[in-house]
Structure 1
Amino acid sequence: MWTGVIPAVTTKFKEDGSLDHAEMERCFGLQMDAGCDGIIVCGSLGEGPMLSQDERIEVLKRAQSVTKGKPTLMTVSEAGTREACALAAKAAQAGATGLMVVPSPIYHTNPAETVETLRAVAAAGDLPVMIYSNRIAYRVDVTPEIMEELAPDSRFVAIKESSDDIRRTTEIINRLGDRYAVLTGVDNLAFEALTVGACGWVAGLVVAFPEETVAIYRLVKAGRYEEALKIYRWFRPLLDLDVSTYLVQNIKLAEALAIGSTEHVRAPRKPLSGARRAEVEAIVRKAIEARAALPLAA
């Protein structure tokens, strides 16, 4: 369950700010139709911190209705360990396949606190856990040393590697072998990570361009690097939109243009406007115009 392309999906809202279940079902279905290998809900791209815990469970259940047995993971990213444990337990009760866990995004835990927090959340959910290591966004580096300390607990099974240092994938594998499934979490480092040993891709722009994302992954795994690289080079300007303070608005605009979805976001976010909107729209439209047929048997 910890391989392949696993979209970190956006959460869909109606104009009044309520959850848009019908649009989520449609968009999640497009991911499954393209051959994605699961879904992660309520992460940063899914505006999880803007949702109540009950809303997050609703989104999880909506995804479960579409994934039909493929992994459906809940993101746990709470300021306090108590709240993180509560969400983990709720997700388990709701039938989540596993958890993607972020140490507190508000308080920047030291290594001992990071270990204790991750262990507490894993115990509360008693589900397989993907550790989300993102020192850029969350200011906490879950290092290979920390991963090794957590390794005796079999609930820790995977790493979403988002350190923004391509060397980290190799460092994890060199230190820990196949103890963890290592998935890349940085869209514009995906080809590089997959070619040095990452077994999966927790992807963002996949929500707007699912076929291309799946094709890159499958071509790399088949050793068809030149074909994969050709698509990746076309994709790179789009993938760069994931590495931004405005990644949610960027990607929702890409969804609107590519798959006819909506751009509604939760306040304090607002949809893109002005020069920033024009810039992103130009990138997306240019990519759509240059879209090529994908190789067969990808």
Structure 2
Amino acid sequence: MFQGAMVAIVTPFKNGQVDEKALRELIEFQIANGTHGIVPCGTTGESATLSFKEHERVVEITVEQVGKRVPVVAGTGSNNTEEAIRLTRHARDAGADGALMICPYYNKPTQEGLFKHFEKVATSVDIPIVLYNIPGRTAVNMAPETIARLAKIDNIVAVKEAAGTMKQITDIIALCGEDFAVLSGEDYLTFPLLCVGGKGVISVVSNIAPRDMADLCNLYFEGKLTEARRLYYRLLPLCHGLFCETNPSPVKAALAMMKKIESEEVRLPLVSLMEASRAGLKRILEAYGLI
């Protein structure tokens, strides 16, 4: 259902408010450059510091602006199961094509707690669900065996896997089978993941280089492995450069340098890039030809 390069789109801010005009323009930039899907209100979209009202509005804007041209998979995760159900229900009612659900953070649930959390949301809201495993942010790793249990639930259709290891990726694919989509949550693992049977990436890099990230996936699916591998290595400096500090501060700085957004504003406790990081990122963007 979900494959290719889907952008984990930033939420642009201006003077402390969501910049709706800039968000719509970013969506058009993505679609014009062949992105395979839009994912608002994920980690890159700073969902953790959006109010419920802002979160819902960003999803509504995205669905409206996309107009069914590509799938919209709205971030709806929470460390409170009832809040996750509320956000997921809103995404469904707003017209999103799927929901991206992060593992509950801070609580540190057991594997059984993770299973029960996602099971409860999936059975409460009839929408395709993409699990999101990112232990570096949540303090808990969802085991491949737990993902395999969840994959048996009809509307849990994919996982965004960001544990950062090929062992975990291959274990999930082996346990879950071809009908369950494994998507990379790490841009730098996109090509290796495709080679072992993954279906694509939910990408930070696509914010600034959507055409190339989409083409990497397109080339792979067309069987043009040499060309795909060459493009992967071209993209690799961006994959590393956009994580020189905590995401999404670098990608917002990059978009501002590219004149795609007016302000690189992030919300506390995130801060704008330090000057050394900014200088290094600028060199990478210049070398790539983005500025």
> Which AA in structure 2 matches 1:65?
E
Conservation of the 8 A alpha-carbon contact between 2:74 and 2:96? yes
Partner of 2:31: 32
Moved more, 239-248 or 177-186: 239-248
1:286 equivalenced with 2:290 (yes/no): no
1-structure distance, mates of 2:16, 2:187: 28
Q: CA deviation at 1:210?
A: 0.8
Mapping of residues 120-159 of structure 1, within 5 Å: 120-159=120-159
Conservation of the 8 A alpha-carbon contact between 1:86 and 1:124? no
Q: CA deviation at 1:183?
A: 1.1
1-structure distance, mates of 2:269, 2:151: 38
Conservation of the 8 A alpha-carbon contact between 1:76 and 1:101? yes
Partner of 1:83: 83
2-structure distance, mates of 1:12, 1:57: 15
1-structure distance, mates of 2:178, 2:154: 13
Conservation of the 8 A alpha-carbon contact between 2:160 and 2:183? yes
Q: CA deviation at 1:59?
A: 0.7
Partner of 1:52: 51
Mapping of residues 177-256 of structure 1, within 5 Å: 177-243=177-243, 245-256=245-256
> Which AA in structure 1 matches 2:225?
Y
**Residue identity (%):** 27
Is the partner of 2:248 in helix, strand or coil?
helix
Q: CA deviation at 1:213?
A: 0.7
Q: CA deviation at 1:10?
A: 0.2
Moved more, 180-189 or 169-178: 169-178
Conservation of the 8 A alpha-carbon contact between 1:151 and 1:179? no
Moved more, 227-236 or 32-41: 227-236
**C-alpha root-mean-square deviation of aligned residues, in Å?**
1.7
1-structure distance, mates of 2:245, 2:12: 19
> Which AA in structure 1 matches 2:17?
S
1:2 equivalenced with 2:13 (yes/no): no
> Which AA in structure 2 matches 1:267?
L
Conservation of the 8 A alpha-carbon contact between 2:85 and 2:124? yes
2-structure distance, mates of 1:98, 1:22: 24
Q: CA deviation at 1:245?
A: 4.7
Q: CA deviation at 1:244?
A: 5.3
Q: Which ranges in structure 1 are unaligned for 5 or more consecutive residues?
A: 292-298
TM-score, normalising length: structure 1: 0.91
2-structure distance, mates of 1:92, 1:223: 35
Q: CA deviation at 1:129?
A: 0.4
Q: CA deviation at 1:169?
A: 2.5
TM-score, normalising length: structure 2: 0.93
Conservation of the 8 A alpha-carbon contact between 2:129 and 2:155? yes
2-structure distance, mates of 1:167, 1:79: 26
> Which AA in structure 2 matches 1:133?
N
Q: CA deviation at 1:96?
A: 1.8
Q: Which ranges in structure 2 are unaligned for 5 or more consecutive residues?
A: none
1-structure distance, mates of 2:250, 2:173: 33
Conservation of the 8 A alpha-carbon contact between 1:169 and 1:197? no
Conservation of the 8 A alpha-carbon contact between 1:136 and 1:164? no
Q: CA deviation at 1:105?
A: 1.5
State how many pairs are aligned. 289
Q: CA deviation at 1:270?
A: 2.2
Conservation of the 8 A alpha-carbon contact between 1:5 and 1:217? yes
1-structure distance, mates of 2:219, 2:275: 38
